[in-house]
Structure 1
């Protein structure tokens, strides 16, 4: 029997469900300054929006089914929602504006109120347009009954029809409330609320006909009346005139602030003095959903201009009267003789010294982090938790956000993030709340969850100083002080306005980032304002070091190193080592030993890797390249994901080890880890230097084998250079065949000209060793000037002195500077060698030419004397006997002079 009603209900609903299956539903809603139409798509659709005359047309994908049943009662500023084929037409009220956007898969169309004209308040509709009429007298006032709305000022006389139209300022409107009615005015939830503590019937049509009051809404409360208007930059002025209240849409005026003090010095109630307090009317706050206790005033302009925050209640600013936002069920507001009394139970101490004016809520702040003592913050948190438990789930979002802000203000970021995450899972509106997302990311940052804190970089976050501050904190946590310092420097006042527990977490991060980035002026400001906090000892020491106070900085570093703050202790130890090294109190080896002792002072991955890299550098500089290499190998094993970062340091340590180790040990090291050799000229130079060291020990074969293995692994010009050196070593060992094989094995296309010439010369020398003189001569002649010296040597060994002299002359023309520049000793030796070849060739004419061109370029000495003897003319008669005697004397002393020159000893004339 119990199933029968359910079955009947299912039969009744079956057609409707079948008809709506697969269709996209529509929801509508009214808001303070706009109406909203929502298309509930299950997945994000593609759509086109077109602005038509007095309407907006949406075109969805072909075949889309839209169920228009939800739009039978159009929302504010919407005249109707109809289907035009496959398009949806939304007719708008004249002058309404549209805002179209997408939230997840849903498409939202907002119909905004018309833009205000001159003399209107933002959010109001323009007055209805009247047809043009000729000059017409005003209607006589009614005498049978008093009108519900009476003009407080005489109506302006209409100008003649022929005159130009003039803008008429909206006149004040008298409200028909009985004498003694109290009133209050405040801004809440995007609305202007005007509360009157007596109930009176209002002619809304007559009120809305007045300029500036077209969107006025009224709500009847028990014994009170609430008027609602959209929020405007210049709200209407509510003032007392005679026995009633007058609403002037032209703008607001100044009033008398209510002083706040403790009642009789007590700490359980607050007293706000007012000249004529009225009644207390309870409302539901349109902004947070919490109880709002409003105290009216019967005359005057007493108000609360500044927002104030207490643990269990807030005092929002008002334009008239007093308002108390209750976060606890213990909060009371009572009107007395010339005062209002605010209580919160005997258990709560309301210290008026702590109830100062709230910080100015500039547009650059998006969080509400109450700067209250911890005890009051805990009371506030308990009140919020009680309100959350009593509130329906879909009204808890503002309460959970306030609780998350309170937890963050208490320095409890993990708990704050959990509270804010609950808001996101409970209320779908949280997904589109950018400030809530920023607050969640800030809590994740302080909780050490950097991946979740990355949401602070989202461009959707509202631009504000508060977001700049937290983005700087994120950059500091990621180890980028240069990026964090500008943000911290620009937001220091905001940082010091934070609650103590939160400020204590952020100040060391900000100071350390400023110190590491070298931003000394903002760092001084921060340290001066923060005072002698122990957590700022390290930034103070870094500032002293930056200012050149080395001894003071070292003393501070040593003090921090003896403390219990492990991260600060590790940094202080390392900075003290670097400072002592820079001042000459430690050498590289001592600094390496001191830094080695700090490696495990604090296990932070980024800092430990940086310390290990620095230690490897110090070991390498102190001659312990093998120790540096071992340390880097250990680091690579501990942090495999940092291999790419460590690779350059490993290569540099490997090169240093090849240069510092004994030759055979260096060869063994290369054989064990050939992949560590850096590519490019640095690696090639290290291997060539190692080969030279082996050759100096008469280990040419070992050097050649080393270069051969390196050449096989290399490529390009480097391989050809290594093969050339290997071939040279093999040729020096007398193995010309192996030298040619090495050259062939290391051949690489597109080599530099200098490398090609050197390889051809060596190949020609190997051909000569193998008895292939003709091939060698042809190869050298093909080289031209580059092979001239080697060709001259080859021809001289054959006894072809004329050919050798001719080839060597080509080499001299390319080598010697232009005349008449003097010649160096090496160039003089070349010139002497050419003269000897010409003498052996018997070329008197060439000798005379050489003597005439080059004798004056020689410096006095044995080489010049030898050149003169070789190029002197032949003896032709007895007249040349004195010259012969001088030459014989010169020849007798020549061997001793030449020997002294070869040995480097002094030469006497």
Structure 2
């Protein structure tokens, strides 16, 4: 032993002390002069008082260096030949020795992190238990005469050696360097039956639990710790390490469950419980865990429930897995914060068809381990197809180790998506493509990627005739896509084809995708009401997908709102569009696009003669304006409908609050006309005319003409209306209703001004062009001057 170490006395060492140096004794507390306890030698406990309040705290439940620790290392005098194992049981570090060793723990009194310790001898073994307020990173290193237990070791973060299991004689051998004895132990926190394999040299166990059928390999600092769930499993000393075997009739052979190198992958095995095991083995595993969970006390069921959920998931029973998890989390809400539980829950939601409930998969910190599941989530959520295909390709090889039920379900889906959206590099993972019917879509997409659209379409059409609903639906869906892209069917025909596919898509689990394609086809066909009706039905059937549908609903409402109402539009069509917008607008999240929809709604309501409701639409649109020009536009329109509703004060306020001197062009002209019309309503006609004097746009000329007509200033009205007619009435050709009204208006103003010269020019200009009978009669009456009537009489006309 190093100088200073005393047999049967646990030694302590502070930071900076030379470990094992000759002449360097371990630190001793003043209380170390207390006589040694004799409890250990008689099989009792030797326990020091609990640590003081200055003991180190943990960082988020993980390793932390003690702040006021008096020691950082201690020496356990177990002897040179003893085999050691060490593992955590909640906040207790338990160290087991396969030899009986009487140890005096008095030197640890008031030493901070190691102060709470209990030493027990049980039969031919010794157990040393250290209690911590929070877990710390600890290591055990062999020294002459015993072991050093240290805080904040130098090798934190280093990758541990892989633990390799070997199938042998129907059982499983875990090779171990200088193995000790197998010692039985009952875990004090869970009551689990443990079989602990010790080693007389350093042999750290796994960092994460390794689940197997009938037993678990627990994380350990030293040695291997087996939690055995079945009475038919035994652990004994083998040739070079602990050997697991089964006894009794009907026992499931352990060799079929051997997992080779037990690496610490965080997803497939440790978190999801997936291994390529026979169905009967998986069912037995599920039955055992479910029975264990049912028989344990309520406060001890957590681990068994999680194991049962993993077993159900491995069987492909995602609905049962998430139900078990929901119960476990309800009883212990803190479980939901654990990454492994959250990942299992999200994966169960995904396989159960609740894609929205699986969003945790996208952000899970799993690296390459979780690439397959992240890609699967992104695929089903319709996010970044190329990125999803790359992730699926990255994890595609893992599927070979999955249970057959899940592999047969997921492999064709992943391969099809990779073939459809993956890069050339991604496609390499698919070679060779299996000949099974489930991979028919993969082969068809490969033909399409090679540029042979005719062969691909033929392959998809052949798939559509298969009896398997999944294969038939995939073939039918892709046939519609290819035929529409080739121009063989119209968008309306595509929509009708998707409607016929809905029953098959429900059986194949593709209904949501087909309904989304149906909505898109109606939109391409310009059937906006049908598109919105189809979107409503999709959100009713798949309420969890409502958020994903919002972009399509938003596009439909925007089109309905911003499509101008032509002169031939039937009022019922406008009313229907308004009703559709108003019934859906609150589903749309606030955004500039929603503002545009509200602005268009306000215009339609104004056109229907509903200024009060139009004002509400513009008021809701204003805070959503994405620039000053749009805000000024909507502010002006709000003022206009307020004027029409006889709310002149509110109209003035709307103009003032949305004024922007930087806005010019048509927006500034429109606001000028609205402001002038407000002045007219307020009785300031001359001021309105002055405001519009330099504005030659049609709305400005029209308002100026109307003001002058109201003032009976007919010569001035002729000049203003005449300038508008010169711009808007063509030299030749037929006239629309607006142009005919403008013609009669100019003739009326000229007749009232006795401007015969203008009437003569107007008569020659319009000529024999067709007007409506009523307008024609009025126009001829106005443009016929007294001088013309005299000439007709002299000529016998």
TM-score range, shorter chain: 0.5 to 0.7
Alignment of 1:89-168 (within 5 A): 92-93=53-54, 96-98=55-57, 115=66, 125-126=70-71
Q: Which residue is equivalent to 1:223? A: 124
Mapped pair 1:367 → 2:310 = no
Which digits, 9 at most, give the CA deviation of each residue in 1:509-540, with x for residues without a partner?
65566677x44357525544885665454455
CA–CA distance in structure 2, aligned partners of residues 303 and 802 of structure 1: 109
Q: Any idea what SS the aligned residue of 1:578 has? A: helix
Higher relative contact order (CA closer than 8 Å, sequence separation 6+): 2
Mapped pair 1:311 → 2:213 = yes
Q: Any idea what SS the aligned residue of 1:375 has? A: helix
Mapped pair 1:400 → 2:345 = no
Change (3 A) 1:484 1:328: farther
Report deviation, 1:283: 1.1
Contact 1:369/1:408, CA 8 A, preserved across alignment? yes
Q: Which residue is equivalent to 2:476? A: 573
CA–CA distance in structure 2, aligned partners of residues 640 and 274 of structure 1: 58
Aligned match for 1:194, one of 88, 91, 95: 95
Report deviation, 1:336: 6.0
Contact 2:48/2:118, CA 8 A, preserved across alignment? no
Q: Which residue is equivalent to 2:230? A: 328
Q: Which residue is equivalent to 1:284? A: 186
CA–CA distance in structure 2, aligned partners of residues 254 and 755 of structure 1: 79
Q: Which residue is equivalent to 2:718? A: 780
Q: Which residue is equivalent to 1:691? A: none
CA–CA distance in structure 2, aligned partners of residues 455 and 256 of structure 1: 31
Q: Any idea what SS the aligned residue of 2:197 has? A: strand
Mapped pair 1:411 → 2:316 = yes
Q: Which residue is equivalent to 1:132? A: none
Q: Any idea what SS the aligned residue of 2:570 has? A: helix
Mapped pair 1:610 → 2:516 = yes
Which digits, 9 at most, give the CA deviation of each residue in 1:305-339, with x for residues without a partner?
79865311234576765543212122212236766
CA–CA distance in structure 2, aligned partners of residues 174 and 317 of structure 1: 24
CA–CA distance in structure 1, aligned partners of residues 494 and 522 of structure 2: 11
Q: Which residue is equivalent to 1:524? A: 427
Q: Any idea what SS the aligned residue of 1:442 has? A: helix
Q: Any idea what SS the aligned residue of 1:350 has? A: coil
Report deviation, 1:489: 5.0
Which digits, 9 at most, give the CA deviation of each residue in 1:523-570, with x for residues without a partner?
525544885665454455446535534234313322331234535534
Report deviation, 1:596: 6.0
Change (3 A) 1:331 1:422: same
Q: Which residue is equivalent to 2:288? A: 383
Aligned match for 2:341, one of 431, 436, 451: 436
Q: Which residue is equivalent to 1:236? A: 140
Aligned match for 1:420, one of 322, 325, 338: 325
Q: Which residue is equivalent to 1:554? A: 457
CA–CA distance in structure 2, aligned partners of residues 474 and 372 of structure 1: 22
Which digits, 9 at most, give the CA deviation of each residue in 1:419-443, with x for residues without a partner?
2233234456546656434433432
Aligned match for 2:244, one of 342, 360, 364: 342
Change (3 A) 1:670 1:351: same
Q: Any idea what SS the aligned residue of 1:574 has? A: helix
Which digits, 9 at most, give the CA deviation of each residue in 1:464-493, with x for residues without a partner?
666776565455444445598289459626
Q: Any idea what SS the aligned residue of 1:673 has? A: helix
Aligned match for 1:205, one of 90, 106, 125: 106
Change (3 A) 1:74 1:446: farther
Report deviation, 1:126: 2.1
Report deviation, 1:397: 0.8
Q: Which residue is equivalent to 1:755? A: 698
CA–CA distance in structure 1, aligned partners of residues 231 and 297 of structure 2: 16
Alignment of 1:727-746 (within 5 A): none
Aligned match for 1:673, one of 569, 573, 581: 573
Give the stretch that moved more between structures: 187-196 or 367-376: 187-196
Change (3 A) 1:489 1:600: closer
Q: Which residue is equivalent to 1:899? A: none
Question: TM (normalized to structure 2)?
Answer: 0.56
For structure 2, the 5+ residue unaligned runs are 1-46, 541-545, 580-603, 615-635, 641-676, 682-687, 730-745, 766-797
Alignment of 1:60-75 (within 5 A): none
Contact 1:481/1:514, CA 8 A, preserved across alignment? no
Report deviation, 1:293: 0.7
Report deviation, 1:76: 4.4
Contact 1:187/1:193, CA 8 A, preserved across alignment? yes
Q: Any idea what SS the aligned residue of 2:349 has? A: helix
For structure 1, the 5+ residue unaligned runs are 1-72, 79-91, 102-109, 118-123, 128-169, 621-627, 660-665, 680-706, 721-743, 809-909
Report deviation, 1:193: 4.3
Report deviation, 1:673: 3.4
Contact 2:87/2:222, CA 8 A, preserved across alignment? no
Report deviation, 1:657: 14
Contact 2:180/2:197, CA 8 A, preserved across alignment? yes
Q: Any idea what SS the aligned residue of 1:360 has? A: coil
Report deviation, 1:411: 0.9
Q: Any idea what SS the aligned residue of 2:100 has? A: coil
Which digits, 9 at most, give the CA deviation of each residue in 1:175-210, with x for residues without a partner?
358xxx541324444665432223232112247899
CA–CA distance in structure 2, aligned partners of residues 338 and 568 of structure 1: 52
CA–CA distance in structure 2, aligned partners of residues 640 and 302 of structure 1: 57
Report deviation, 1:225: 0.3
CA RMSD of aligned residues (A): 5.9
Q: Any idea what SS the aligned residue of 1:200 has? A: coil
Aligned residues: 578
Contact 1:438/1:467, CA 8 A, preserved across alignment? no
Alignment of 1:453-468 (within 5 A): 453=358
Contact 1:314/1:326, CA 8 A, preserved across alignment? yes
Task: Name which one, 1 or 2, has greater alpha-carbon Rg.
Answer: 1
Contact 2:476/2:501, CA 8 A, preserved across alignment? yes
Which digits, 9 at most, give the CA deviation of each residue in 1:274-314, with x for residues without a partner?
786543211124675421112345x6667877986531123
